[in-house]
Amino acid sequence: MQGGKMSGVAELDARSIQPDIARLIQSRWVWCIVAAGFCMLRGLGQDPGGLLNSLGDTDDATRMVQVREFMAGASWFDTTLGRFGGAAPLVSHWSRLIDLPIALLLLMLQLFFTVPTAELLVRILWPTLLMVLFFRLLVREVEMHANARTAVLFLLIAVSCFGGLAQFKAGRIDHHNVMILGAVVGALALLRIKQDARGSVEAGALLAISVAVGYEALALVVPLLAAVGCAALARPELRFQLARFGQTFAAVVAVVFVLTVGPTQWFQVHCDALSLNAVVLAISGATGLTLISRGQPQLALSRAIAIMGAPVAVGLVIYGMLEPKCLAGPFGEINPGIKGIWLDQVQEGFSLFRMGVAHPMLAVLFGVSQLMGIAAALYLLMRGEGQQIFRIGLVVLIAVATLGAVWQVKLIPYAAWFAVIAVATLIGQLRGTAQLSVLSVQILAVLLVSQSVIGLGATAVLKIAGASKNVLEGKMAGDTAICRSTKAVSTLKALKPGLVVAPIDIGPFAVALTPHRVLAAPYHRMGLDIITLDQIMTAEPASAEQRLRDIGADYLVLCVPDSAANTDGALQLSGLGLERVMLSGGRVPYLEAVTLPTEAKALRVWKVLPKA
């Protein structure tokens, strides 16, 4: 009798557990956590010691410095980084919106771990958490236009979308991933404003956050805003939803401005970060959309243009008056002298054709994937039924973002996700054959469009064409990664703190890993310091001495042999300048060689001696 009771209890427990397991398996959050976890673990497995050996790229290192300064008591409104720069410190244009969640995550982890371990964990967790959220929002967009199976197919394709995932891999704590999330999901939400009342509000908020964090996505957001204006003129039935979009966009931009820019700085207008001019322009656009939404649907086109265009025109005039240089774009205030010696060499600003010369695999993967995305979107447009706004919008988004990525490769992650959405939606509509079930056909299609499979094919073709191993792996001649490694740069801690003159891409790591100051780092607001650094490196030793003394330099640090390369953040060498002379084994009376541990074998360090 007792045994029967026990058996009955066990059977009851099993029945109660099964629905919980089913709900867990069906949970979209679980799907996205598994997908993001797989991507994170795959990245760590491909480079097991990568996070220990390096702080990532220069932006990741600088973000860690900015977060530390904030946690150490820096004002919420003051983003000055005192150890960057010579005569004047760098005032960062990066938003505190990113510093705050990273700092909170660090504080929580420091309750259980040492500071170095907590920082390491944050570098893994922050981009992974963003990836989970990104996947979840994209899955929702796919389901709203298709179904749950298509959402699963999307995730299967997404985990091999290497171009789109680049800014979400472990270690990426800068700001690019947040901008991508906001711009991509916001643009997709805009395509469902007719079927979902929340779409306009969500789109406005997400696109505003993307722009408030940084202006990288403007190449996508500005055409989107122009398209919204055109749609308001052409489709009267959408004017109310589009007005809500504009109002939300303007409201979020204004709120973020008030929350992140101190009142004493409101009239200090900058072209590269959220400033009063952007707030005015956003409000003027929202005003135009609101006015036209309250007019009669049968308004003549000319009258509608006048009603909507008047406040926008006023906003543009005020925008230009507040800072005329900003009419030239986000880089309107930069020192023109840095273009040839640094800015033109920054890889994220390369065209796809220029980048493709050194990274043909990147160009092939992106090119093939985007062609498939455009083809899928066009097929859906011509053969699909219903959801006209989604089908037309998807073609426009892929086209605009792809053109932007061809212009500047930093837009590749934005374009890549729109293509994945289109391909997944089309695959979700495939049907079975006499020999294969629907699921089999769809899984086979997912495999064929996977960038892993495309990459294998591209590798085989490039090998036949005689491509070198470095070309296949995307390694550029003169890569300075060995000089930026944590082990190498950390050896500089043994030296008395001082001002370090070093190649521009080493600067952020020296600040993050040592107590030193650096003359320059790869940031456009450091124009005078970048020019000074170039003058020191390229001047003949006799002239370089006076420049070193003028800025109060304590150390000269060079990278061997890769500092002579033209890579992201590196300066071009010419003539018999100081850098070339010292790397060639030359000696000058005012520099004394410093012996470093073997971990820093790629670095050469000299102490600047007092003037005799």
pLDDT at residue 14, as a whole number: 52
Residues 199 and 301 in one domain: yes
* Cross-strand partners of 559: 603
pLDDT at residue 19, as a whole number: 66
Residue 597's pLDDT band, with cuts at 50, 70 and 90, is confident
The answer as to whether 339 is a domain residue is no
HSE of 473 in the Cβ direction (CA atoms, 13 Å)? 8
- What average pLDDT score do residues 556-585 get? 66
The answer as to whether 417 is a domain residue is yes
The answer as to whether 532 is a domain residue is yes
* Range name among 6-20, 143-157, 587-601 with the lowest pLDDT average: 6-20
What is the signed CA dihedral for 466, 471, 477, 480, rounded to 10 degrees?
A: -160
d(CA 466, CA 307): 61
Question: Domain ends where: 334, 360, 386?
Answer: 334
| Domains of the chain: total | 4
Whether residue 468 has pLDDT greater than 90: no
**Residue carrying structure tokens 């170095």:** 116
Beta strands at 90-91 and 80-81: parallel, antiparallel or unpaired: antiparallel
- What average pLDDT score do residues 577-587 get? 90
Residues 488 and 469 in one domain: no
Residue 569's pLDDT band, with cuts at 50, 70 and 90, is very low
Residues 219 and 294 in one domain: yes
175 three-state secondary structure: coil
pLDDT at residue 17, as a whole number: 60
Whether residue 455 has pLDDT greater than 70: yes
Model pLDDT for residues 332-347, shown as the tens digit of each residue: 999 999 999 999 999 9
d(CA 441, CA 434): 11
The answer as to whether 265 is a domain residue is yes
Q: What letter represents residue 38's amino acid?
A: F
**Pick from 58, 172, 187: which is nearest to 126 by CA?**
172
d(CA 547, CA 115): 38
pLDDT at residue 117, as a whole number: 97
Residues 141 and 228 in one domain: no
The answer as to whether 11 is a domain residue is no
Give the mean pLDDT of the chain: 90
- What average pLDDT score do residues 376-404 get? 92
Tokens of 564: 């002579």
Residues 378 and 470 in one domain: yes
Model pLDDT for residues 409-442, shown as the tens digit of each residue: 999 999 999 999 999 999 999 998 888 999 999 9
- What average pLDDT score do residues 197-203 get? 94
pLDDT at residue 47, as a whole number: 87
Question: Residues in the chain, how many?
Answer: 612
Residues 447 and 492 in one domain: no
* Range name among 139-143, 167-171, 415-419, 475-479 with the lowest pLDDT average: 475-479
Residues 120 and 146 in one domain: yes
Beta strands, E only, 423-578: 499-501, 517-518, 555-559
- What average pLDDT score do residues 128-151 get? 96
What is the signed CA dihedral for 92, 98, 99, 103, rounded to 10 degrees?
A: -170
Residue 13's pLDDT band, with cuts at 50, 70 and 90, is low
pLDDT at residue 265, as a whole number: 95
- What average pLDDT score do residues 542-556 get? 95
Residues 502 and 547 in one domain: yes
Model pLDDT for residues 224-233, shown as the tens digit of each residue: 999 999 999 9
pLDDT at residue 25, as a whole number: 75
HSE of 195 in the Cβ direction (CA atoms, 13 Å)? 14
pLDDT at residue 564, as a whole number: 41
d(CA 536, CA 577): 8
Which residues span the domain enclosing 108? 27-44+54-164
Alpha-carbon distances, residue 441 vs 288, 379, 431, 448 (angstroms): 49, 18, 7, 11
Question: Strand order in 591-594's β-sheet?
Answer: 517-518, 499-501, 555-559, 603-608, 591-594
pLDDT at residue 568, as a whole number: 40
Residue 1's pLDDT band, with cuts at 50, 70 and 90, is very low
585: CB partners within 8 A, 6+ apart: none
pLDDT at residue 12, as a whole number: 47
Residue with the larger pLDDT of the pair 117 and 4:
117
**Residue carrying structure tokens 């906003």:** 315
Whether residue 512 has pLDDT greater than 70: yes
Residues 369 and 276 in one domain: no
The pTM assigned to this predicted structure is 0.92
Residues 318 and 225 in one domain: yes
Model pLDDT for residues 63-98, shown as the tens digit of each residue: 999 999 999 999 999 999 999 999 899 999 999 999
The answer as to whether 18 is a domain residue is no
* Cross-strand partners of 81: 90
Whether residue 147 has pLDDT greater than 60: yes
Residue with the larger pLDDT of the pair 581 and 179:
179
Question: Domain ends where: 278, 308, 334?
Answer: 334
d(CA 173, CA 61): 9
The answer as to whether 14 is a domain residue is no
Question: Domain ends where: 135, 164, 193?
Answer: 164
558: CB partners within 8 A, 6+ apart: 502, 503, 579, 582, 583, 603, 604, 605
Residues 461 and 490 in one domain: no
Tokens of 94: 């990066």
Whether residue 470 has pLDDT greater than 70: no
d(CA 248, CA 256): 12
Model pLDDT for residues 285-341, shown as the tens digit of each residue: 999 999 999 877 778 889 999 999 999 999 999 999 999 999 999 999 999 999 999
Residues 327 and 184 in one domain: yes
The answer as to whether 403 is a domain residue is yes
